[in-house]
Amino acid sequence: MLSTLVELDQVGKSFASTEKVLEGINLNIKHREFVSILGESGCGKSTLLNLIGGFETLSEGDLSIAGKPVRKPGRQAIMLFQHYNLLPWRTVQKNVELGLENEDITAAEKHERASGYIQLVGLEKNADHFPSQLSGGMQQRVAIARALAIEPEIILMDEPFAALDTFNRYYLQDELLRIQRKAESTIVLVTHDIDEAVYLSDRVIILEPNPGRIKRSLKIQLPKPRDRSHDDFQYFRKTIFDSFQFGGTENEPDYHI
Ligand SMILES: Nc1ncnc2c1ncn2[C@@H]1O[C@H](COP(=O)(O)OP(=O)(O)OP(=O)(O)O)[C@@H](O)[C@H]1O
């Protein structure tokens, strides 16, 4: 039985300039769980991720990671974006070491730890390359290695593969599952892609808007790696799609929201 890592209890968020963005969010995330958050644009997905990361402050409720209240950004949670935010003048090795700058370890230890994670994401042959010499998918793997090197409790991902073409996206989804298994990471992913959510997640959280609340929490107990063409996979895709209640169209849905 996996233990709870992240606990959100009646979490709410308002910005000075807006109505309530999130209300009454109750969510527990377990160690090594892969949770995706889906919901229409503006329903508060990124805000929820930012709260978990400590980048925004709570307006209501409680939020803790590993039993400690989250009040500011820190090593407990690292955010990965669609834009990789690599420094172009630093090599892969030096970009991964960047996350370790505030750690109280020697230069040799930094190098060693970074090298280990570069190897984990399969880029050991590219350690001396600069970001401009890498494909988008490879750059995202560097960003993943940099996040892993910090050894956070949880990795938060805000549409990390949205800028990639389908082939690279599928490849990186597989890589992410492999890396997650090896590094035993806990991941929360915001995505607009229902297929991606079903492929990767142990649980899918569907938010509804105005204010953002949890509409549905769906466990996906299919073994990984998953077969996108399997009936079980299609069942979950359809269940999620139906919960958005789009309806009213004869067109084949593309399962993006
Ligand atoms: N810093 C902020 N100040 C004021 N309003 C904000 C801020 N951040 C987000 N909002 C508002 O909160 C609401 C939810 O935004 P958020 O980015 O969390 O939604 P989202 O579901 O991630 O949207 P999308 O799918 O389009 O990225 C929006 O109305 C947005 O304008």
CATH code where residue 69 lies: 3.40.50.300
The 10 Å Cβ neighbour count of residue 248 is: 5
Q: Do both 32 and 71 map to the same domain?
A: yes
22, exposed or middle or buried, with CB in 10 Å at 0-12, 13-18, 19+?
buried
Token couple for 106: 């020697």
- Centre of ligand 1 from the C-alpha of residue 247, in Å: 26
Give me the domain span that covers residue 112: 78-151
Interface pTM, i.e. ipTM = 0.98
Residue 251 lies in a domain: no
Residue 27 lies in a domain: yes
Q: Ligand 1 in contact with 44 (CB < 6 A)?
A: yes
Domain boundary among 151, 175, 202: 151
Nearest C-alpha to atom 12 of ligand 1 is from which residue?
A: 21
Q: Do both 217 and 136 map to the same domain?
A: no
Q: Do both 221 and 133 map to the same domain?
A: no
Residues 128 and 91 sit within 8 Å (Cβ to Cβ): yes
Number of domain units in the chain: 2
Q: Do both 67 and 175 map to the same domain?
A: yes
Q: Do both 108 and 217 map to the same domain?
A: no
Q: Do both 59 and 17 map to the same domain?
A: yes
Residue 64 is predicted with a pLDDT of: 97
- Model's pTM, two decimal places? 0.91
Q: Do both 60 and 185 map to the same domain?
A: yes
pLDDT by position in tens, the chain (length 257): 679 999 999 999 999 877 899 999 999 999 999 999 999 999 999 999 999 999 999 999 999 999 999 999 988 999 998 888 899 999 999 999 998 988 899 999 999 999 999 999 999 999 999 999 999 999 999 999 999 999 999 999 999 888 888 888 898 899 899 989 988 999 999 999 999 999 999 999 999 999 999 999 999 999 999 999 999 999 999 999 998 875 444 444 455 55
Pairing of strands 60-65, 68-69: antiparallel
Nearest C-alpha to atom 17 of ligand 1 is from which residue?
A: 46
The 10 Å Cβ neighbour count of residue 51 is: 24
Nearest C-alpha to atom 9 of ligand 1 is from which residue?
A: 47
Three-state SS at 46: helix
